[in-house]
Structure 1
Amino acid sequence: MKDSSIIIYGYVPSLVLSIIAIVLFGLGFAGHVFLLSRYRTWYFIPIAVGTAMEIIGYIFRILSNVKDPYAVAYFVAQYFCIVVAPVLFSASIYTIASTLTNFYGREYAPLSPKLILWGFVGCDVVATLLQVAGAALIGTSYSNGNGNQETYNHILLAGLAFQVFSFAVFLIVFIWILLKARSSPRKVSPAFTASVFVAALAVYLRTCFRLAETAEGLLQNLSSHEVYFGCLEFAPMIVAVYLLMYGHPGRWLSGASMAKPALSPIMSEA
């Protein structure tokens, strides 16, 4: 890709913010890899992969700062990584909801464990493909100097709108499970479910911000001021990574499986 005639970000990405992000996500990645190896909860691998993608995304933002803020390739690469990473965080949250459904029993959830997992993962995949395609077309359009950016922005907007809708449906399902499970003889620590639920809200906040940013239009207030990115993209993802580290299922669930109901009770803490 050629360089764009403008800085597509709307600003030169902050070097300080990117370095802080790499350090914090790096620590989060190390923590999740340690927990994965300790508890062998391999179904929770997406959170580690997503955290690694965040690191890569911020590396490209550093390259935009120190080498070339006009480089379309850097913009598209960082956008791809930072957009896909939250989808992997969401997938990890879906695995917890699916596992809890198996643990409590099918009667405590409005959907089957497999549908909770793969249905919402499928929705996220479709939404992400639309977002990445829209961002790539926008970058290519700027590099070629044509005027189709708004058309491509609508593709990006459609992906985000669908993602906001599908994740809202998931939150309803998750709340349903937590409320119905209060009558279950099987119990789970409120600290565990609260950490996962707040992490889910953080991911949802970030997605709503991206939708508002895209709906406002290219190079408008939300997209051209990095303070919004820092507060509503970077910060919620850091919160999600560390809450899901605290709420890692290996620390709180004993014998729970995504394939069949768990036979052993919930541990209060590892």
Structure 2
Amino acid sequence: MSQNTTDSHGGWKAYDYYPSMAAAVIFVLLFLGSTFLHTYHLFRTRTWFFIPMVIGGYFESIGYIGRALSAHQSPNWTLGPYVMQSTLLLIAPALFAASIYMELGRIIILVHGEKHTLIRVNWMTKIFVAGDVLSFLMQALGAGLMVKDSSSKETGNNVIIAGLFVQIVFFCFFLCSALVFQSRISKYPTSQSEVRYIPWRKHMYALHGSSFLILVRSIFRVIEYVEGQDGYLLQNEVFLYIFDALLMFSVLVIFIVIHPSEINCLLGKGKVMTSRAGLSLSEFSVAV
């Protein structure tokens, strides 16, 4: 809720409103609950390429704990909780993206669809993850500069914007690559892509949906930082929860409902989360 706030700590003011305790606590519980569930499935199914997604979930949880602490301190905010929420909520989606990139490569290998990709599979994951790491580091560096001192705040803001643009560029390229692959393999299917019990299509839809949500969130963050501290988005807390918190929580939910352990299991690298799909490693091995 936007309110008139008084400066604290010699003129430093963390927010242009009093952060909502209720909203922060709700999303702490939502992110912790979904991330605990992902952690359980991670170890049970040994879907190790989803480790970045799980870490990102904990970053989101800790970030909203920081906002809850800031809400408790209003209007006498301290730097610690503010840094906690501003940094972790900013960089967590880059970790989500890393797992999403790695899943696409595994889907392509599963259906033997390498000839339908824009770039070679063994380079695809490396390129996308490298771009994601670059974006992650730039955003983390920018966040650090913004809280260091007032003289470096503008530089930090610009570095964050650049990092978000890097993330958007790579995400758009990723979406194009995924869409082109799905279009080509739908027109010219491989024998593996037509096997009944290989549910690659629903996992592609999960990738498309989650990628779109992260892309929308990244565009929102770019606009937010371009507008600056006096911008409408930063002065109204509700936009953070609509275009960041809710979207990132939805990403975690998508991958709970459509868990990548199915892909991992069919590649012989782990267990499936649920047996309802009737997946069987021995059955798959015979088909391949």
In 1, Cα distance between equivalents of 2:278 and 2:172: 29
Contact 2:213 2:251 in 1 (8 A): yes
1:209 shift after superposition: 0.6
Rg comparison, structure with higher value: 2
- Alpha-carbon displacement from aligned partner over 1:165-202 (angstroms, at most 9, x marks no partner): 11111111111122222222223433332122111111
In 1, Cα distance between equivalents of 2:244 and 2:174: 20
Q: Which amino acid aligns with 2:68?
A: I
Aligned residue in 2 for 1:163 = 167
- Alpha-carbon displacement from aligned partner over 1:192-248 (angstroms, at most 9, x marks no partner): 321221111111111111011111222310111111101000011011000011221
Residue in structure 1 matching 2:92, options 85, 99, 113: 85
Aligned residue in 2 for 1:131 = 139
Label 1:22 to 1:233 Cα distance change in 2 as closer, same or farther (>3 A).
Answer: same
Unaligned runs of 5+ residues in structure 1 are 259-266
For residues 172-211 of structure 1, the aligned pairs below 5 Å read 172-182=176-186, 183-187=189-193, 188-189=198-199, 190-211=201-222
Contact 1:120 1:170 in 2 (8 A): yes
TM-score by length of 2: 0.81
In 2, Cα distance between equivalents of 1:196 and 1:268: 19
Unaligned runs of 5+ residues in structure 2 are 1-7, 270-275, 280-288
Contact 2:110 2:263 in 1 (8 A): no
Q: Find the residue that maps to 1:224 and give its secondary structure.
A: coil
For residues 239-254 of structure 1, the aligned pairs below 5 Å read 239-251=250-262, 254=265
For residues 94-109 of structure 1, the aligned pairs below 5 Å read 94-105=101-112, 106-109=114-117
Aligned residue in 2 for 1:120 = 128
How many equivalent residue pairs?
Answer: 257
Label 1:70 to 1:250 Cα distance change in 2 as closer, same or farther (>3 A).
Answer: same
Contact 1:150 1:218 in 2 (8 A): no
Label 1:79 to 1:178 Cα distance change in 2 as closer, same or farther (>3 A).
Answer: same
Deviation above 6 Å: which 4+ runs of structure 1? none
Matched, 1:50 2:56: yes
TM-score by length of 1: 0.86
Alpha-carbon RMSD: 2.3
Q: What is the identity percentage for the equivalent residue pairs of Structure 1 and Structure 2?
A: 26
In 1, Cα distance between equivalents of 2:192 and 2:230: 51
Aligned residue in 2 for 1:261 = none
- Alpha-carbon displacement from aligned partner over 1:88-123 (angstroms, at most 9, x marks no partner): 111111111010121123212112333222211211
Contact 1:99 1:257 in 2 (8 A): no
1:4 shift after superposition: 6.7
